[in-house]
Chain A
Amino acid sequence: MGEILKIDNISVSYGSIRALTDISMSIDEGAVVSLIGANGAGKSTLLKAIVGQEPLKSGSITFAGETICQTKHHHGGLTTDLIARRGIALVPEGRHVFADMTVEENLDMGAFMVRDQALINKRKEEMYDFFPILGARKKQKTRSLSGGEQQMMAIARALMSAPRLLLLDEPGLGLAPLVVQDIFNKIKIINEENKVTVFLVEQNARLALRSSSYGYVLENGKIVLEDKGEALLLNEKVQKAYLGA
């Protein structure tokens, strides 16, 4: 399958501080690609850049053949909501659920771009089947859900718009190891059965690389390594720096 997302030499700065320097990446359609790196390496910044929340200093990002992010010099890029409409769904870091709404209402929000109520109902049922805990809690306020349940809800909400590319920002953040494992299993199923391309950013390198076909390592805003998932797991440098071996 072809390439769905192409990141071409992008740089992002916060004022005078360089957050990302000349990043180039390529994500194939149907793949699970992960990006690992330490705190402050620029992982979240990269995701924000893809969805148009951070302006680019240089380079461009192309999604399914269309340029979605550019430098200001080249008329900038699309706004976040338009990028979402192209089929990129971001599950932001820290989940960003609508805490005062019920699970069902959150899913309804996820389907904001979908105008067909019958289709929305169908997708909701699919989500309740896929995440049974959400079905059981659909009338509950999201605030009352546990961290893992909220993370699943955030993923389900992102899937409501039937995206082509799912961006996950630290889905395992602050969750118990068993819950994280469960979430990663679900991500794998989403990828295989719904044919959604997944790009995930994670600190838990072992888990991330195990479930990915390809991986990138980000250090101080630069890509220092890239390889197949299993290959990176065996890489000496990665083992030393990220796997604690």
Chain B
Amino acid sequence: MLNFFQLILIYAGIYAIMAIGQNCITGYTGMLSLCHAGFFCIGSYATAIICKTFGLSFWFSLPVAAIVSGFVGLLIGIPTLRLKGDYLCIATLGLGEIIRNVATNLNPVGYNSIPRATLFGYQFASRNKLAFIFLIWAFVLIFYILFQQLAHSRLGRAMIAVREDEVAAQSNGINVTKYKISSFVLGAAVGGIAGCLQTAYTLTVQPGSYTFMVSVMVLCTVVLGGMGNAKAVILGAVIIQFISYLPQLTGLTNVIPAQAKQIIYGLLLVVMMLCRPQGILGRDKYRYGDPRTRKEKLHDFFVHPRKAKGGKV
């Protein structure tokens, strides 16, 4: 049972990273994209090819996975991001399928027995789940902090403005195309890293595991937790993973068919839209309206550490 909880935590972490990427695209910039499985796939394949075919280290494959999937994000983004709402959704859905089909045709059986990742001489073996929990959740923490910073930065501010109102954003001197593409590329790169970590854990890559359902699940995670809130999407990932392993957890695999989770996701989305469209935790507060100048911020940081954290003065 403990073993099983650990497995869920590992997958929750991987999905949390994907959801943080999706949140950057959908939550901050407001673009409904449905091809995160594609970026996940690219990251996984990049890692598999680098580690297996070229025999290079996992740590080398990590940035490569991010760069390659970010680059594909750029290629997809430039033509499609001028589309809006449902149209963008359909276009990205198609592109996600293209990525999966290319992967399938590239190597229909996928890659097996990929070399393990090592860190300071320690080998990450799949049976030692605790090590993976630490590894993956360390990445979750890093991305959480990064994207939290991003949301309150100039870049994040521009993305949120694009989400709220494109016409107003443009009139205020914000280059909408530039920020849409940056957000898409960032989200894609993070999706690639999630794929890389998953490969490090499973040590196999199969094209069948990057279906449209994965994209839907990631989107579900973001909607469930709360769009535009990095903390919320991590919570969403944990909940979604628990739901997806519910039959095994309760020991009712004979009674509840595996497909039941798809029904549950769908129902969950409907219920969320009806009762709490902003997600469980809702949107994050905007915090960029900080009236202090940079000098004052530095001063507060060193002299009044509590105030610097945004506490009441």
Contact = CB atoms under 8 A, between A and B. Distances in A.
B172 A112 contact: yes
A92 B173 contact: no
Given A102-B289, A112-B158, A112-B161, A92 B167 contact: yes
Tier of interface size on chain B: 20 to 34
Interface in B54-77: none
B168 A92 contact: yes
A19 interface: no
Contacts of A158: 171
A144 B171 CA distance: 22
A96 B286 contact: no
A104 B289 contact: yes
A117 B291 CA distance: 7
Nearest to A114: B173
Interface in A114-141: 116-118, 121, 124
Given A108-B289, A112-B158, A121-B291, A100 B164 contact: yes
Given A105-B289, A112-B157, A117-B291, A97 B168 contact: yes
A118 B293 contact: yes
Interface string B270-297: 0000000000000100101111111000
Contacts of B175: 79, 81-82
B176 interface: yes
Contacts of A112: 154, 157-158, 161, 172-174
A176 interface: no
Interface stretch (A83-91, A213-221, A223-231): A83-91
A12 B273 CA distance: 41
A113 B294 CA distance: 16
Contacts of A161: 172-173
A101 B292 CA distance: 19
A54 to B, nearest CB: 12
Contacts, number: 81
Q: Which of A81, A90, A100, A158 lies at the interface centre, i.e. has the most chain B CB atoms within 10 A of its CB?
A: A81
Contacts of A197: none
Nearest to B287: A105
Interface string A66-90: 0000000000000111101100011
B248 to A, nearest CB: 40
A32 interface: no
B170 interface: yes
Contacts of A80: 170-171
Interface in B134-181: 154, 157-158, 161, 164-165, 167-177
Contacts of B174: 81, 112
Contacts of A204: none
Contacts of A81: 170, 173-176
Given A110-B172, A112-B173, 19 more contacts: A51-B170, A79-B170, A81-B174, A81-B175, A84-B172, A98-B161, A104-B289, A108-B157, A108-B289, A109-B157, A109-B169, A112-B157, A112-B158, A112-B172, A113-B172, A113-B173, A116-B293, A117-B293, A121-B293
9 contacts: A81-B170, A81-B174, A100-B164, A101-B164, A102-B289, A108-B288, A109-B157, A112-B172, A121-B293
Interface of A: 51, 53, 79-82, 84-85, 89-92, 96-102, 104-105, 108-110, 112-113, 116-118, 121, 124, 157-158, 161
